[in-house]
Structure 1
Amino acid sequence: MAVLRILVMGLLLQCWNIFPLCAQQNEIRLSTGYGNSNLHWSIAGNTEGKNPNILSELAWSRLRGAVWNAGLRYSFNRKWGLELEAGYHHITKGRVTDQDYAQDDRQDNYYNEQFNSQGKALTADAVLHYHVGNISGFQIRPFVGYTLQKQEALLLGDEERERDLHSSYKTTWMGAQAGVNATRAFNRLDLRIDLASGLLAYRAEALWNLIDKFAKPVSFRHYTEAYQLKGKLEVGYTLGERLRIMGYYRIAHADAWKGTDRAYYSDGSSIDTRLNWVTTTTTAFGAGLGYLF
């Protein structure tokens, strides 16, 4: 009996040391950090992807600024849980290149300009996960859910060129996602890895003041389907019983397949061409606080 009491006391002490992680699975968290994204798309001259195969392409680079995130992790029981997360990226700096071509394969480049850029982005994720067991000390939870990312990327002039320019390209990536979460506790320190992929609908809408004959406020729209890959690494440390500090790094990449570019003109007419591709990559890092309950 004495040996049994010693074993029980040892287990209770061990659980007390990791109490915030083993018994309190629920968390409300807030974080801030710094984000950077790139966005690139092109269209062809007609719906067959010819005349020429690349008529115009836009490339935004280093769209950067502060990010803020809020999230909730909630366990219904030992197996099932829910996670919600929303984020905002305030884009304060960036550059965009606008190029047009008269011949196939980017030949006869008759327009090539660079502009400043700013903008904003919103993200939202909701997933339901299931605890399947442990592998090498990691708690493994596959998940399924929904993801949404909206971004507004601007083309801004300066004092010397296109002073009153204020064109915008607004994107929406939305659809189903699935992935796996792996979490491991080392006493009060914890490590969390999230990997996910998704099949998304892609929609975009532009206000294009660069070309007078385009209609305003909607100059053209893009429609297609896409896929997304993303990952997140998070390291946390629990202070006391309720407070958790954490740092994170995340990356997301999405590619849209061939689709439709529909341009609207001021005379009321419209025309379709082929959207060749859209690709975007976003990275962010930061730190935050969590309240465990």
Structure 2
Amino acid sequence: MYCRKIISLLLFLLCSTAFCVKAQRNEIRVAAGYGRSDLHWSIAGNIDGEDPDILSELVWSRLRGPLWNGGIRYYFKNRLGIELNAGYHSIQQGRVTDRDYAGDHRQDNYYNEQFNSGGRDVLIDAAVNYNIGILADFQIRPFIGYTLKKQEALLLGDEEKEKDLHSSYKTTWMGGRAGLNAIGVFNRFDIRMNCSGGLLNYKADALWNLIGNFAKTVSFRHRTHAYQVDGNIEMGYTFWKKIRVMGYYQITHGDAWKGTDRAYYTDGSTIDTRLNWVTTTGTAFGAGLSYLF
């Protein structure tokens, strides 16, 4: 729902705002900010999605902490442009709930515990864009690219509960994406917006100290395909012709479809069940500096 609102806002601004577009300048930028994300997945009792339909589910909420990112934008004279970005999010706070069920439709809940959480995110993406002209006084640049996001979400105990727990769930979302950049520049002020979507491969490896007969260091693996949509709005102001200050807000949502959950045990055996879904939503805001050339 939040993604649809952000995309609707971007399209509204794209079609209704009248700014005077100037030639784009190349840019190297660094920024710092704050991010928050949620992560939710579940598995069934067997590979057919039955016995029960939801056997176990994990819900991470309010994974939050500082983030840092940087990137480069470079525009060629033939309308072509490239953009490279990298970011790191240090997850310093959060909660995770672990629930298990004996019956279908979340009936007979026999395990329900909450733990502290932490972790980290790493993001790298690259894109090639092309200036197709002006629409509603914005320069329009469709783009295609590749994205890679890795997250480590932890289950952390405390002095009262599972002191030495430290279980982890490490995810990877990677694949191609395509979208649209809209850039308006007038005098020293500029506004940049983009929205994109992509089809990704999803994989996750878990180290699960909650269950003693799970193997270490890989207790189970998830494999499937996914999609991701995101939107971003950025505003900047240029000082002394080459220094730009900027602020941004972005939102990302991803869903992974039905796939395989493979558990590994200490006796060397494995069991496959169905991965029902994985869903994640993240928001971030921040500010930074750019050097224009």
**1:173 alignment partner in structure 2:** 173
Contact 2:29 2:72 in 1 (8 A): yes
For 1:200 and 1:94, how far apart are their aligned partners in 2? 26
For 2:70 and 2:39, how far apart are their aligned partners in 1? 25
Aligned residues: 274
**2:46 alignment partner in structure 1:** 46
For 1:189 and 1:137, how far apart are their aligned partners in 2? 14
Task: Give percent identity, aligned residues only.
Answer: 67
**2:151 alignment partner in structure 1:** 151
1:201 matches 2:183: no
Contact 1:24 1:292 in 2 (8 A): no
After superposition, residues 10-25 of structure 1 pair within 5 angstroms as 22-23=22-23, 25=25
**1:28 alignment partner in structure 2:** 28
**1:255 alignment partner in structure 2:** 255
Normalization by structure 2: what TM-score?
0.92
For 1:222 and 1:23, how far apart are their aligned partners in 2? 46
> Which letter maps to 2:292?
L
**2:5 alignment partner in structure 1:** none
1:89 matches 2:94: no
**2:240 alignment partner in structure 1:** 240
For 1:175 and 1:184, how far apart are their aligned partners in 2? 29
For 1:186 and 1:283, how far apart are their aligned partners in 2? 28
> Which letter maps to 2:53?
N
| Helix, strand or coil at the partner of 2:197 | strand
For 2:183 and 2:22, how far apart are their aligned partners in 1? 11
Moved runs in structure 1, 4+ residues, more than 2 A?
21-24
For 2:148 and 2:281, how far apart are their aligned partners in 1? 15
Contact 1:67 1:88 in 2 (8 A): yes
For 1:280 and 1:50, how far apart are their aligned partners in 2? 24
| Helix, strand or coil at the partner of 2:37 | strand
> Which letter maps to 2:253?
H
Quick one: structure 1 residues 41 and 173, their matched pair in 2 at CA, closer, same or farther if it must change by over 3 Å?
A: same
**1:101 alignment partner in structure 2:** 101
> Which letter maps to 2:134?
N
Q: CA shift at 1:78, angstroms?
A: 4.1
**1:113 alignment partner in structure 2:** 113
For 1:291 and 1:142, how far apart are their aligned partners in 2? 24
Q: CA shift at 1:186, angstroms?
A: 2.2
- Structure index of larger Rg: 1
Contact 2:22 2:186 in 1 (8 A): no
> Which letter maps to 1:288?
G
Normalization by structure 1: what TM-score?
0.92
For 1:288 and 1:78, how far apart are their aligned partners in 2? 29
Contact 2:197 2:230 in 1 (8 A): yes
| Helix, strand or coil at the partner of 1:165 | coil
Q: CA shift at 1:23, angstroms?
A: 4.7
1:290 matches 2:279: no
- Gaps (5+ residues) in structure 2? 1-19
**2:191 alignment partner in structure 1:** 191
For 2:193 and 2:22, how far apart are their aligned partners in 1? 17
| Helix, strand or coil at the partner of 1:163 | coil
**1:69 alignment partner in structure 2:** 69
Contact 1:29 1:71 in 2 (8 A): yes
- Gaps (5+ residues) in structure 1? 1-17
> Which letter maps to 1:289?
L
| Helix, strand or coil at the partner of 1:121 | strand
